[in-house]
Amino acid sequence: MKWALGVEYLGQNYCGWQRQRHCDSVQFFVEQALSRIAAEPIEVFCAGRTDTGVNAIGQVVHFETSVDRPVRAWLEGANTHLPDDIRISWVKSVDKDFHARFSAFARQYRYVIFNRPVRSAVLSGRVTWERKPLSEDLMHVAAQPLLGEQDYSSFRASECQASHARREIQFVEVTRRGDFVFIDIKANAFLHHMVRNIAGTLMQIGRAEAPVEWVADLLALQDRTKATATAPATGLYFINAFYPPEFSIPQASLNEVLWQ
């Protein structure tokens, strides 16, 4: 049988999604929990690997198993074996053709900035703090040249292993609610550190330390060395992966990010 499930997690205690020998990963704990329910080794595949410190509310994974267990066992049973900062939010059986990564046609992220002079004591590890005032209006205008299919080399990490830097950003918006500034972005796929590099650039523009035209200029240069520093991982949330309707994969809501 093949199963799909939704996973949400806070990333501050993990070295990202992907299983690694030298540190704790989200994948390791999810596989360990599912394996205990299945009484056999389980390997899971995700919609989008997240880096150290990155969070998720709508990560989608799939796995195959030879054993028959009810949905309740995979959901409630597995959650009893997971740390408090990782949870399986839903489980459903899927067609054999479904693949969490390759069946997805788009992904959505939200970057959360806590924008006030004093750092929050209770939001540590969950948001990016910026003490200087940010203009969300300037950031939103600056972000619009990112739309469309183009080369995002200027926003690509040097260690990115993708074969090319062309992606298609389908939606990007910068908004504010009180002390929180949100960067919401949806694309067919993302390069390594792409959202965090975009966020760092937009924050510099929001602080009036760079012109609104800077994003468009960087896109034309196709040179990562000309851009600003990568924004911290703590503010980044994997919100959703999008699939053809025949798979009936549940969607997470932006309202599930605590500060919406």
Catalytic annotation, residues: 51
Per the model's pLDDT, the better-predicted residue between 152 and 158 turns out to be 152
d(CA 60, CA 49): 10
The pTM for the full model equals 0.94
Q: 186: domain CATH number?
A: 3.30.70.660
pLDDT tens-digit readout, 244-259: 999 999 998 877 665 5
pLDDT, tens digit, for every residue of 20-56? 888 999 999 999 999 999 999 999 999 999 999 999 9
56 Cβ partners below 8 Å, 6+ apart? 7, 8, 9, 11, 17, 26, 50, 237, 238, 239
Same-domain check for residues 117 and 80: no
40/154 same-domain check: no
Q: What Cα–Cα distance (Å) separates residue 136 from each residue in 4, 186, 243?
A: 37, 18, 31
Of 16, 43, 182, the closest CA to residue 108 belongs to: 182
Which has the higher per-residue pLDDT, 186 or 227?
186
Q: Are residues 210 and 95 in the same domain?
A: no
Query: Same structural domain for residues 61 and 42?
Result: yes
Domain co-membership, 98 together with 143: no
Claim to verify: residue 154 and residue 232 sit in the same structural domain: yes
Can you give the residue range of the structural domain that contains 215?
106-238
| Coil/strand/helix, residue 66 | coil
114 and 86 within one domain:
no
Kindly state the tokens that stand for 231: 């924004």
